[in-house]
Every structure is written in C-alpha cells, then in structure tokens.
Structure 1
Amino acid sequence: MTRTIAARQDVRMTASARTAGLRLDPRAKLYLLLLANLLLFFHVDTRGEAIMVTLFLLPLFVAGRWRTGLRLTVLYFALLGLGLWSDAVTLTGTGSGSGGSLIGMMNGGTTGAGDATTTLATAGHVAGLLSVGIRMMMPCLITGAYAFTTTSISEFVCAMRRMRVPEAIVIPCMVVIRFFPTIAHDYRQIRNAMALRGIAAGRFALVRHPVQSLEFIIVPLLMNATFVSRDLSVAALTKGLGIAGEHTCMTVIRMRWFDWAFMAVCTVPMALSIGGVL
C-alpha cells in the first residue's frame, strides 16, 4: 500500500516536472500579454485575430490546461461564428438598403412585409456588437489566463527583478496576483455559508435573487477586500521584499530556445496584420 502511494506520488511529480519544463518563461508570457494588448489597440482584421488567438491558445494545451483551453476555444470560435453570421445578415441582401443599418431601422426604413427583415437585421447588428466587443478582449483573457495559471509568485518576482523593474512596482504586482485567488476563495466560502442557511441556494439563484446577492455577497466581499489587500501588503513587506539592496531568489528561470522561437512566431503575424499584409 505504501509503495503504491509512493509510486503514484512519483508519477505525479514526474508529470508536473514534465509540464513545468514545457511552460514558457514568465518574460515570454509577459511578451504574449503585450502582443494581446497591441492586438486590441490596433484592432486588426478577423483573419489576423484568429491566427493570433490560435497561437495564444497553444501554450495552454501544452501546459496541460485542457479544460481552460477548451472553454476559451469554444467561446472564441462561437463569438467568431456569431460575428460572421451578423456580417452575412447585415451586409448581404437581408440587411441591404435602409433596413440594413441601425440608423435606417431607427428611422423606420422598412414597414409592412419588411418587418421580419428588419427584426433579423436588428438581431444581426446586436449580435455583431456583442461578438466584436467580447471577441476583442479574448486575446487578453487567453494570455492572462495562461500567465496567471501557470506562473508562481516566486517565478513572477524573479522575472520582474531580472528585467530590472523597481521594487515599487514588483510589490503591488505581487499583491494583485495573490489578491484575486484570495477573493475567489472568500466568494466560495460565502456561497457555502449561504447554501448552508438556505439563502439563494442553487446554480441560478444569483440571477433569480439579485437583491439577496447584493446584500449577502457583494457587500461582504467589498468589506473583506480592504482587509485582504492590507494583509497581503503586510505579508509581502514581512518577507523582506521592501528592503533596499540586491535580492536573491531560489527560483531559477531562463529563456530557452522555444521561448524565443514562440515569441518570434507570434510577432510575425502580428506585424503582418498591423502592416496590412495579412
């Protein structure tokens, strides 16, 4: 029995070590996050965006984050399909003429037999707005999810110090990284306490009881957020992060060949999209 448990632990440690070896360097992750923000800033076309999102999703699957990667993949391509359907409705025969634009609909561009066409075109415009608005944020969400779920705090601090980032920026960033998991844990505890007392129980209870959700969830979270941020700041300073001078780190990070290669592969379609070549 003891040998079986030890063997399972060895297998888990070997799998985790293998997965850690396939992860990108924290500096490469920050570079991908920068590319995602540039993608949002320059608002490239759909083809370049789809290529970049596909490249951003690859590290998630390589790192073993299959569930997160599949969810983000399904969400993005569902939004992409919704946007293509919206373009087909509003730009082709269904949405042509005065009924094909929002201004024409507001001015009553079609009447009588065209009511169905107007309704479909309106639905297409609304779907297009939602699709584009959420889809533009997807690269940042994907790269952010990969960076924060596969990077430990020690790796992040070591990467920031390797880049000669001032301690006045490193400490707040570390506090922010630890803040959101702590708030998520507090949220789960509040939901468990509410379910134990029979308050807003169920999966869709928050939607069915918005007033109770505001009173029993948001208010305690906001009150607790102040204490959490203060405690995390004190914990960071207690560990000596605010002491002047050179700091050492037990975590070893280094840029490997596939880090540089993947950064270059992601940069090329980004540059081609911005330049209008792709």
Structure 2
Amino acid sequence: MTDVPVGRSGPRAGLRLDPRAKLYLLLLANLLLFFHVDTRGEAIMVALFLLPLFAAGRWRNGLRLAVLYFALLGLGLWSDAVTLDGAGGGSGGSLISMMDGGANVGDGTAAAWATVGHVAGLLSVGIRMMMPCLITGAYAFTTTSISEFVCAMRRMRVPEMIVIPCMVVIRFFPTIAHDYRQIRNAMALRGIAAGRFALVRHPVQSLEFIIVPLLMNATFVSRDLSVAALTKGLGIAGEHTCMTVIRMRWFDWATMAVCTAPMALAIGGVL
C-alpha cells in the first residue's frame, strides 16, 4: 500500500492539516471562549483560524465566516461607541435606567440610540464569541473524512465507545441536511412555502412540514448509522487497522504553535 499523505486528496484539494491538528484548533477555540480573551486577541485568533480554511480551498465558506465575524465585530464597536456617548451625554446610557421609566433622560433620540446600541451589543457579542468554535468546527468537519477521523482517534488511544458515537454524529448531520433538502423540494413541488423567505413568512407551515418530519426521521437515521458502523466491524474487540495514512508534519506543528502563541500572550496580559 502506498502512503498517500492526508494533506492532499486531489490536485486541487489544497493544503489540509492532520486531523489531530484540527482537533487541537477546535480545543483552542473552546479555550478562547472559556478564558474570555479580549477583542484584540480574539480577532487575531479568528484570523489565524481562517487561514487553514482558505488554504484547504474553502474560499466561499471562509469568506462568509470572515464577513460575518468582522460585521459582528464592527457592530459591537459601534454599540460601545453609542453606549459611551449616551452615558457621557447624560441621556441615560444605562439600559437599566431606560427601563426605569426614563426619568433622567434628557434627549429622547440619544436614549433611543443608546437602547439600540445595548441590544445590538448583546446580540453581537453573544454570537461573536461563538464564531471561533464555528470556524474551527466548520474547517475540521468539512475537510476530514470519516476514515481520517477514526484513524486519528485511534492514534490518540481513544476508546471505541467514544469513537463509534463520534463517527455516527459526524455522518448524522450531512444525512439530516440531505433529508431537509428533499423535504424542501417536495414542498416546492406542491407549492407549499415556496420561495427563499417562505419559511419566515409561514412559520406554522415550517413547523408542520419540516421540523416534524425531520424529528421523526432523526431516530431512524441514527439507528441506521449505528447499525452501519457496527456492520463494518467497528465494535469488534482487538486492534484495528486503517487504510488511511495520517502523520503530523512540520506545518501541522507550526500551525498549532502559531495559533497557541496569541492566546497565551492574551491570557498572560502581554497582548
């Protein structure tokens, strides 16, 4: 058997990290959320997390995630500016004071903008803090095959009782997405909730014709995937072999080190 590196799966596949390096980046993203790193360190980390996504050839997904993150970042900065201006101008910049009847509000327009700034800030910060996890998760699960993931988990000596459920979960979401597209096509064929924003205009129909069939089908999908995994012999005791060859290379270690440095500096108060 010829050892084919996992970094490339075709002439245009792009540069891909080892699955263990991808899991490490996902761990860093969760630690970034846990330690609540400041905005500067978070932006640097997000930029570093986006680079492997672009290097793997996922330009469309990378650009979408980058635009979404920096839009949320800009919205949060605008919210801070509006809130500080409202508080400094004596127009009730505090959201609690505005909910208290507006007794100390001198300018209604400034108070309204401050309220909008508070709400926008809450939404932008809440979603933005989840973006590093979404970026690393999207990179890990869209560029890693099932065999590569199983091989990486076994290299890390992960028990089979964890490997099999993880494999089922990875295959579960693409199957559910396929079922969703089939349901939407069937609805469009019958003229039910047709159009791009039809689900927003008709929420009751969305609940009846989409969510209910998906929930009912999810049980059967998870059962079939579990049976398929056990049929392939993943539950057999003993040492397993894998046809997929993975190995850590220099750019895997370099990526892990470069992505770790900003978070360590931010936690230490240097950055």
TM-score scaled by structure 1?
0.92
Alpha-carbon distance in structure 2 between the residues aligned to 1:53 and 1:84: 17
1:227 equivalenced with 2:225 (yes/no): no
Evaluate the alpha carbon distance shift between residue 212 and residue 21 of structure 1 in structure 2; reply closer, same or farther with a 3 A threshold. Answer: closer
Evaluate the alpha carbon distance shift between residue 274 and residue 221 of structure 1 in structure 2; reply closer, same or farther with a 3 A threshold. Answer: same
Shift of 1:228: 0.1
1:153 equivalenced with 2:159 (yes/no): no
Tell me, yes or no, if the aligned pair for 1:98 and 1:104 is still in contact at 8 Å. no
1:138 equivalenced with 2:131 (yes/no): yes
Give the alignment of 1:61-100 within 5 angstroms: 61-91=54-84, 93-96=85-88, 97=90, 99-100=92-93
Evaluate the alpha carbon distance shift between residue 112 and residue 136 of structure 1 in structure 2; reply closer, same or farther with a 3 A threshold. Answer: closer
Question: Which secondary structure does the structure 1 equivalent of 2:10 belong to?
Answer: helix
Return 5+ residue gaps in structure 2 as ranges: 1-7
Alpha-carbon distance in structure 1 between the residues aligned to 2:39 and 2:103: 31
Q: Aligned-pair RMSD on alpha carbons?
A: 1.4
Evaluate the alpha carbon distance shift between residue 236 and residue 153 of structure 1 in structure 2; reply closer, same or farther with a 3 A threshold. Answer: same
2:185 paired residue number: 192
TM-score scaled by structure 2?
0.94
Tell me, yes or no, if the aligned pair for 1:200 and 1:209 is still in contact at 8 Å. yes
Instruction: Give CA deviations for 1:80-133 in whole Å, capped at 9, x if unaligned.
Output: 000000011112x33334611111111234567511011000000001001100
Return 5+ residue gaps in structure 1 as ranges: 1-14
Q: What percent identity do the matched residue pairs reach? A: 89
Give the ranges of 4+ consecutive aligned residues of structure 1 lying more than 3 Å apart after TM superposition.
18-21, 108-113
1:60 paired residue number: 53
Q: Would you say how many aligned residue pairs link Structure 1 and Structure 2?
A: 263
When you count helix as a share of all residues, which structure comes out higher? 1
1:124 paired residue number: 117
Alpha-carbon distance in structure 2 between the residues aligned to 1:21 and 1:260: 18
Question: Which secondary structure does the structure 2 equivalent of 1:129 belong to?
Answer: helix
Tell me, yes or no, if the aligned pair for 2:16 and 2:52 is still in contact at 8 Å. yes
Residue in structure 1 matching 2:254, options 229, 243, 261: 261
Give the alignment of 1:173-184 within 5 angstroms: 173-184=166-177
Evaluate the alpha carbon distance shift between residue 206 and residue 78 of structure 1 in structure 2; reply closer, same or farther with a 3 A threshold. Answer: same
Alpha-carbon distance in structure 2 between the residues aligned to 1:98 and 1:261: 51
Alpha-carbon distance in structure 2 between the residues aligned to 1:144 and 1:262: 16
Tell me, yes or no, if the aligned pair for 2:105 and 2:111 is still in contact at 8 Å. no
The letter of the residue matching 2:86 is: T
